[in-house]
Each structure stands twice: as structure tokens, then as C-alpha cells.
Amino acid sequence: MHKVLDKSSKQMGAPTRDQVVDLIAAYAHSVDDMRLDIWPQFFTSDALYHVTTRENHEAGLPIGVVRCVGTGMMQDRVKAFYSANIFEPHTYSHIIGRSEFLEQTSDMVVSARSNFQIVRTMETGRMDLFAVGRYLDEVVIEDGQPRFRKRVVILESRNVDILIVIPL
């Protein structure tokens, strides 16, 4: 368990900006460390995780590359990763830019936009700039912890190299 998720707390109301930034960093580092088993815990139970392209996003089209509604669907992706899907092993390294906090429209939710770049390292040693884009996040407190209620991952490019099996 990552320390951001581990702290026991009875916090109510909206998360602080520090908590949001810590959540975004902890999420990226746990994926980079291949702790995919805890990936769904970064989300609220009914959260939306949606990976799409800039082109789809700007056209308002609903189908992107991944859509999970609720942590159950995220668990299925994790299970598929460990037990069903086949791919050349690889790891990510995230670089995330400074988060911009968007105007707060609710007492409970903090919204932020953060740019990211992900370098992928393959089993052969090959490294590529795999993904460039932005996270559009809505973070709330659930069960005393900051969690994503919504995480939309907008890829700059329409084109994905080979496949996506590790969450972005």
C-alpha cells in the first residue's frame, strides 16, 4: 500500500492542493513501480477512468482507448494484465508537470490539469517516448483518503505504439 492511501484519517470536505499533488505523484510512481494491484485504490468506487485522444476529446466522441466505470472494471483490467493478456514486458517512467488547479465548482471536489510524458522501456532495452498528454482530474475525499473521482487521460497523438496494457 502506498503511503498516500495508507494514512488513516477522518477527513471530510475537499482535499487540499498538497493532497491532490501527492495523489497524482503517488499514482504515477506506483504504476512506474508496477504496483498495478493497488491501481484501482487510487479511485473512488464509482470513478470514471477514461483514456482518449485529443482528436476524440475535441470532437466530443465517447469512445477513446480505455473506459472504466467503477473500480470493478479497473480490477478486471488488473486481473487481465496479470492472468490473461500477453505482451512484451515493459515499464513506464512518468514525468508530470506542475498541476494547474481549475476553478472550484463544488465544496467537495478539486479539479486539476497536469501535463505528462511517459517513457516506455521494453524488454529489449529499447526506450521510447510512449505517451504525451494531460490528466484532467477530479479529486475528492472518500473513506478519509483523497481519491480520483474522475481521471481523463488525453493523449496528444491519435496513434498508440504497439499497445496499451499498463494504465497511463
Partner 1 sequence: MSPTVQAGRNEASEFRWPPQGVTRAPYRLFTDPEIYQLEQERIFRGKTWNFLCLDIEIQNAGDYRTTTVGETPVVVTRDRDGKIHAMVNRCAHKGALVCLKKKDNVASLSCVYHAWNYELDGKLKGVAFRNGVRGQGGMPEDFDPAQHRLRPLRVESFCGMIFGTFADEIEDVETYLGPEMASFIKRNLGRPLRILGTHSQMIHNNWKLYAENLRDSYHATLLHTFYTTFKVNRLDMDGGITLSERKWHHLSFARRAKMQEAAEYAEAKVHSANYESALDGPGLLEAWEEFDDGITHSIQTVFPNMCIQFTLNSLAIRFFAPRGVDQTELFWIYLGYERDTDEQSSMRVMQSNLTGAAGLVSLEDGCINEFVQRGTRADPDQSSFIEMGGREVESERNSRATETAVRGFWHGYRHIMGF
Instruction: By CB under 8 A, name the binding residues for partner 1.
Output: 51-53, 55-56, 61-77, 79-80, 83-88, 158-165
Shortest Cβ 103–partner 1 spacing (Å): 28
The Cα–Cα gap between 40 and 25 comes to 15
Dihedral of CA atoms 22, 114, 52, 132 in degrees, nearest 10, equals -110
Specify the 3-state DSSP secondary structure of 48. strand
- Of 25 and 136, nearer to partner 1 (C-beta) is 136
- Of 17 and 79, nearer to partner 1 (C-beta) is 79
Asked if 164 and 114 count as a contact pair (C-beta separation under 8 A), the reply is no
* 33 secondary structure, DSSP code: T
- Of 85 and 106, nearer to partner 1 (C-beta) is 85
Shortest Cβ 63–partner 1 spacing (Å): 3
The Cα–Cα gap between 89 and 28 comes to 18
Shortest Cβ 38–partner 1 spacing (Å): 15
Residue that the C-alpha cell 486481473 belongs to = 79
Shortest Cβ 59–partner 1 spacing (Å): 8
- Of 15 and 149, nearer to partner 1 (C-beta) is 149
The Cα–Cα gap between 100 and 63 comes to 26
**What are the strands, taking DSSP E only, across 79-156?**
90-96, 100-101, 110-122, 127-142, 145-155
Asked if 54 and 131 count as a contact pair (C-beta separation under 8 A), the reply is no
Shortest Cβ 163–partner 1 spacing (Å): 3
- Of 146 and 167, nearer to partner 1 (C-beta) is 167
